[in-house]
Each structure stands twice: as structure tokens, then as C-alpha cells.
Structure 1
Amino acid sequence: MTSVPLRLRDHSYDVLIGPGVRTSLAEVVRRLGARRAVVVSARPESWVPDTGVETLLLPARDGEQDKTLATVEALCGEFVRFGLTRSDVVVSCGGGTTTDVVGLAAALYHRGVPVVHLPTSLLAQVDASVGGKTAVNLPAGKNLVGAYWQPSAVLCDTDYLSTLPPREKLNGLGEIARCHFIGAADLRGLPPAEQIAASVTLKARIVEMDERDTGVRHLLNYGHTLGHALERATDFALRHGEAVAVGTVFAGVLAGALGRIDQARVEEHREVVRYYGLPTALPVEADTAALVRLMRHDKKAITGLAFVLDGPKGAELVSDVPQEAVAHALDRMPRAPLADLVGEAVLGASTTDTARK
């Protein structure tokens, strides 16, 4: 088991990583002093460990279709009916969507109740469950309504990963791939548990420096500006990690076009993403102008288009990137039919999974 501490000025917790760590849940709940727990699970009841206290189990669904304010409202209504108080605890058990939705519901109910995350997907373990960002979508864009609410503990049980379909594993690798360009060591070839621990450690150190996303925490959005736009443009046919992978390749192309990095570093972006079996091309169905419009809804875009880009001093937020430069860089990206990209993701997942065995 690996324990990664996350220490903030007024809140601290540990991220436990390894096989069987979900059995620590009852001890975490006992330490919090909770008398009741609501467990919101997108996984079978058998996946949920004992909390040690009176518990209400609520079903959930992973996927963008339930990442809405309506879902948050429904959960809070169930909290009321169960009699949950501010001294009790909410537990999420599922992927990134469940982590986000349950985290936001916990942040809003009674202006904040403790939450513990049991992330069951690779994506949630390496990213979504750590750092306290919670959010849901609006029709206009991804993650536009949210709050910062740090969990009381995160239990990344790697046993959960053995049940994931190959493409869901690949989805998490998109976030691992982008770590290569924001300060992580080369994670290629490492066992999954070590990749998770390295990714979580990097994120924890960044969050400790900038909990509220006012500076260095922007680095964690590497590849996400275009990634979020691609999710919307494809009606989520491209999964989050797949879209971030394409966004990471684009970040390299744009940084090269702006003279921030040389061509070898641009190609390194493609090589790293390709190593993990992830797509590297834009879907031909995604119109350049439409993608630019969607990227203007990005949270970092205060006065214009903004991207986290590699450069002489490493990755940093670059604001007010000229629209013409962005459009030109998009037009320089390779393109393929969306069906082929999704098929490539399935094939890549199978290939990556085989390589790990």
C-alpha cells in the first residue's frame, strides 16, 4: 500500500493506493465520528465495503448524462429523508462522474458534510477523486457549476481496476499521459499502481501550492481546453481521457506553432500519447470554428483563448492566444473519422492491456 498525503492550511487527508484499501472505510468513518453514512455507488453493492455505521445505499450511474444539477438536487433530497447531519459522512463509489456529483452534493448539503471517495476507475483514481474540485455540466459546457470541497480520505483500491473494460482503462491513461508534460517523471512502462501513485503525488503537491486554481494548479488542465471541447463536439463519443490525449497532442502542436518548443518536443507529445494506445488525431466531423467557439467557454478563458502550454520554463498558462494561431494549429492536426478514432481507442486499449500482462 502507498499513502500519499495532501496537506492544506486548514484541511489534510491521505490518499491510500493499493489492493484492498477499501476495507479501511469503516476506520475512516469511525475516525470522523460519523453516526450515519450515505453511500452513493455506481457499482454493485458487493463492491461497497462496510461503513461500520447505519448506512443508506443510493444507486448512481457513471457517465455525462447524470452529471447535472438535477442529480445533485435528487441526492440532497435523499440526504434530507435519511436525516443526514453535518457530523455524518457521504461516500462515493464509482468513476469520475460519481466522484464529481457526490462531491458537489456533499459540498452544498448543509453547506458542507464530510465526503470520502472510493474511486473505482483508473481515471478517477489518478485525477478526479483527488484535489477537491467538484462540478457538474451545463448545456453550454463542461464543469461550469461547481465548488471546492476536499474529501476526508481517498481510498484508491487497485483491485477495482481488474474489473474494468479495456477502454475504461485507456480512459484513465489519458490523464497519466499528460503528466509527462507537467512535471512527472516518464511513467511509461511502470506498473499501474506506480503510475497512479506518481500521478496522485504530482497532483497533491500542485494542489498544496494552489488549492483554488489561481496559479500553478492550471498545469493540471494540460490538454483539457481542447479535450473538453472535443467531448462536447462529439456528444461524448470520445471519452474524457481520449479527448485529453488528443488535446495533449494539440498542446504540443500549438506550442510549436507559437515558437515555445522545438519540433522534437512537438513530436514527443505524439509519441507519449501514442505509446499509451490513445488517439492522436482530430475527428473530421469536428469543425475548426466550432471547436474554437467551444474552447471560449473554458474556465481559464477570461479575456480570450487560454491554454496550458509547454515552453522553455516548462508548462505554464498562456492567455490571450490569438484565435488565428489556434485555428491554424487545429488545421495542422491530423484528422480521422470519429468512428475510426473510437475504434482506435478500443484497439489501443486492447493493445495496451496486452502489453501490461
Structure 2
Amino acid sequence: MTRTAPSTAGAPSTAGAPAGAEPRRTVRVELGDRAYPVEIGPGVRHLLADVVAGTGASRAVVVSARPRELVPDPGLPWLFVAARDGEEHKTFATVEQLCLEFARFGLTRHDVVVSCGGGTTTDTVGLAAALYHRGVAVIHLPTTLLAQVDASVGGKTAVNLRAGKNLVGAYWQPRAVLCDTDFLATLPGREWVNGYGEIARCHFIGAGDLRELPVTDQIAASVARKAEIVAADERDSGLRHLLNYGHTLGHAVEHVSGFAVRHGEAVGIGTVFAGRLAHALGRIGERRRDEHLAVVAHYGLPTALPAGLSAEALIGSMRLDKKALHGLAFVLDGPDGARLVPGVPEGEVRRLLAGMGAA
């Protein structure tokens, strides 16, 4: 198989690493005066106090789904607020409770909020920070592979509604993201697989073949590609659609399964489906279609739908996708790379879902 080199734009820097130590990588998200670094590597959480000092804040609220002792001191008066990861906690009620805690502590718009947890925590805390006083600075310390690879970077924040996933949110860029790989040491196996779903989809949006790289390099390459896309299209008007590769069906699988299927697992299924749909529409050949299956399977991700999911329910959920302005829309591979394809026939989608196990 031909190996595609990752783009050098936004590529991670390893300058300044101590000799003999695993190097830290820095990826910058270039957004003018709102640009920020993503620090990746062991021990980078201990940069928190310096990052907080750079915001000019007088106090901080740290919202953490991890024990207090795992959170570094931000270096100024701070409040610890316990949080819980999980889609069931990604709600308006959680955002309201966080904002009440901010107010009780006397947080001002010139202070800072720190999130420490998985992707649902960074999403929820990010939205609370975006809304409180119409925007207060936020710093993310993602503690899962999924959050480090994708959820903490790019400024998208959201909560779920009963009708679907991530239907209400805001764009609110962090001041910095500290991806401490030491946090990954305690992840259970399913959480590793969950993170690999986002790495697998990067294979098809320009990050190159990451399968044989160490996990730190996989994180850095995935973040570098996302940083490049976000810098070019912060608010999802065009190129940023690429980041939703595998997500249209993926979000529907999460929602219809009652979140029994984790996000990365669902994105893996959605990526296999995207390959099959692109082939059915004549956009790619059989070899490239099969490559989707091979890459997803390599990471130990599911490659078919779980039993009992209704094709009609999945299609109904996909109609609510933010890209579905004129019928169903998917980001699909093609002769010139991936792009958004609107108006995909529902009959073809239904047929392919049946072929992947939908009821």
C-alpha cells in the first residue's frame, strides 16, 4: 500500500526536548490573535500554571472528571469542581450547574476555566465557558485518547438534546490544550479503541497512514491535520466538513443505540460505511473501499452495525445532521480526496445500512 506523508503545514515541532527523553510536540492552531498551542507529551500538564499566568486571570475554576490529586495547581486561587465523563452528562443541566459554580466562586470574565477529562467534559466545560459572561478563557487538559486526538482541539463545544447529538453548541477556542500522555497509562482497553476511531478516520482526510507510528506521533499527526483545517475554516463553512468523515452515520449510531456504542467505535463504523457509500456512488474503486475496512479493523474497531439498530431510525437521525441541508449529506472519499457530497439518495443509504447489519 502506498503511504501518504502528512502535510507539513501545522506540523508538530519537537524542538527543545531533553536528550534521551521522549520529545514533547507542539502544534499551533493558527487563528491570528486567537492562535494557541497544543502541547503533546509526558508531563505537559505541569505547564498549566505558566499557561494560566499568561491569561492574566486572578482566579480559576478547574472542572475535572479525574481525582483532584491528578490536577496540577494552576498557581492562583482556584475552585475544584468534580465532573463526570459520559454522554448522559452532556446536557444543558450540566452547563447550568457549572455556570452556577462559576458565579458562586465570583469568577469574572477576566478569569479562567480549566477542563480536565474526556471529550464529553471538554465539550461541556467549553460550552459553559463560552456562555458564562458571554465568554471566559478556557484551557483544556484532555485525559483520554479520544479527547487528545480530536475533541479538545478546534473550538467546537456542544451538548446533546433528546433529538440528537451535539445539536446545541458554540465555537469557543481554548487558550491552550495540554495533552499529557501520562494520563493515558490508566485507560481501559475500550477507551483506547474509542480514541482510535478518530485516528482511523484521519487516514482518509490527509493525515497519512498512521498505523505503524507510536501513539504520541499518531496524536501529534492527527492534531496537526486538524489544526491545519481549523485554521483554514474555523466555522465549518467548507473545508472543516472533512473532520466529520465517518461522523454522519457515527453520530446516528451513538444516538439510536442510546450511546451504548461509544463515539470512536461509531466513527469507525461510519468510516467503513463512508467507503462503501463512496464506492456505490462511483467515487472510488474496490481497492480504496476495502482500504476503509482494513484501516478500521487494524485499530480493533467494530466494522459493522450492532444488532437491532433500525435503518429507518438511523436515517431519521442523520436527517438532523448539521450538514443535511438538502437531503442526506456525507463526507466521502473521491478521486480528488474527501469532500462533502449532498443529496445522497436515501434508498442507496438504506441498502448499504442493511448490508452492514441494520434491521
Tell me the TM-score normalized by structure 1. 0.93
Aligned counterpart, 1:17: 40
Aligned counterpart, 2:256: 233
Shift of 1:9: 3.2
Structure 1: distance between partners of 2:150 and 2:109: 26
Aligned counterpart, 1:169: 192
Aligned counterpart, 2:96: 73
AA aligned to 2:135 is: G
CA contact (8 A) 2:61 2:112 kept: yes
Matched, 1:202 2:214: no
Aligned counterpart, 1:332: 355
Among 306, 311, 314, the alignment partner of 2:329 is: 306
After TM superposition, the structure 1 stretch with the greater mean CA deviation from structure 2, 281-290 or 97-106, is 281-290
Shift of 1:10: 3.7
Question: Cα RMSD (Å) of the superposition?
Answer: 1.0
Among 200, 212, 232, the alignment partner of 1:189 is: 212
- Look up the SS of the partner of 2:167 in the other structure: strand
AA aligned to 2:95 is: V
Among 110, 114, 127, the alignment partner of 1:91 is: 114
Aligned counterpart, 1:82: 105
Structure 1: distance between partners of 2:91 and 2:313: 23
AA aligned to 2:162 is: P
Aligned counterpart, 1:283: 306
Structure 2: distance between partners of 1:283 and 1:259: 27
Among 231, 235, 240, the alignment partner of 1:212 is: 235
AA aligned to 1:201 is: A
Aligned counterpart, 1:297: 320
Matched, 1:244 2:267: yes
- Look up the SS of the partner of 1:144 in the other structure: strand
Matched, 1:316 2:339: yes
AA aligned to 2:284 is: I
- Look up the SS of the partner of 1:188 in the other structure: coil
Aligned counterpart, 1:101: 124
AA aligned to 2:353 is: L
Shift of 1:336: 8.8
CA contact (8 A) 2:117 2:144 kept: yes
Aligned counterpart, 1:58: 81
Structure 2: distance between partners of 1:257 and 1:168: 32
Structure 1: distance between partners of 2:51 and 2:256: 41
Shift of 1:30: 0.7
Aligned counterpart, 2:52: 29
AA aligned to 1:216 is: L
Shift of 1:174: 0.2
Among 254, 278, 284, the alignment partner of 2:277 is: 254
Structure 2: distance between partners of 1:330 and 1:264: 20
Aligned counterpart, 1:117: 140
Structure 1: distance between partners of 2:307 and 2:92: 32
Structure richer in helix, relative to its length: 1
Aligned length: 336
AA aligned to 2:317 is: L
Shift of 1:284: 2.5
What does the per-residue CA deviation read over 1:17-63, in whole Å, with 9 as the maximum and x for residues that have no partner?
A: 00000000000011111110000000011110010000000000000
AA aligned to 1:257 is: A
Shift of 1:189: 1.5
Shift of 1:332: 2.3
Aligned counterpart, 2:5: none
Structure 1: distance between partners of 2:290 and 2:358: 18
Structure 2: 5+ residue stretches without partners: 1-23
Structure 1: distance between partners of 2:278 and 2:351: 12
Shift of 1:269: 0.3
What does the per-residue CA deviation read over 1:96-142, in whole Å, with 9 as the maximum and x for residues that have no partner?
A: 00000000000000000000000000000000000000000000000
AA aligned to 1:88 is: D
Structure 2: distance between partners of 1:82 and 1:173: 38
What does the per-residue CA deviation read over 1:77-105, in whole Å, with 9 as the maximum and x for residues that have no partner?
A: 11011000011000000000000000000
Task: Give every structure 1 segment of 4 or more consecutive aligned residues whose post-TM-superposition deviation is greater than 3 Å.
Answer: none
- Look up the SS of the partner of 1:197 in the other structure: helix
Shift of 1:302: 1.1
- Look up the SS of the partner of 1:118 in the other structure: strand
AA aligned to 1:78 is: E
Aligned counterpart, 1:134: 157
Structure 2: distance between partners of 1:119 and 1:28: 15
- Look up the SS of the partner of 2:32 in the other structure: coil
Structure 1: distance between partners of 2:313 and 2:238: 28
AA aligned to 1:166 is: G
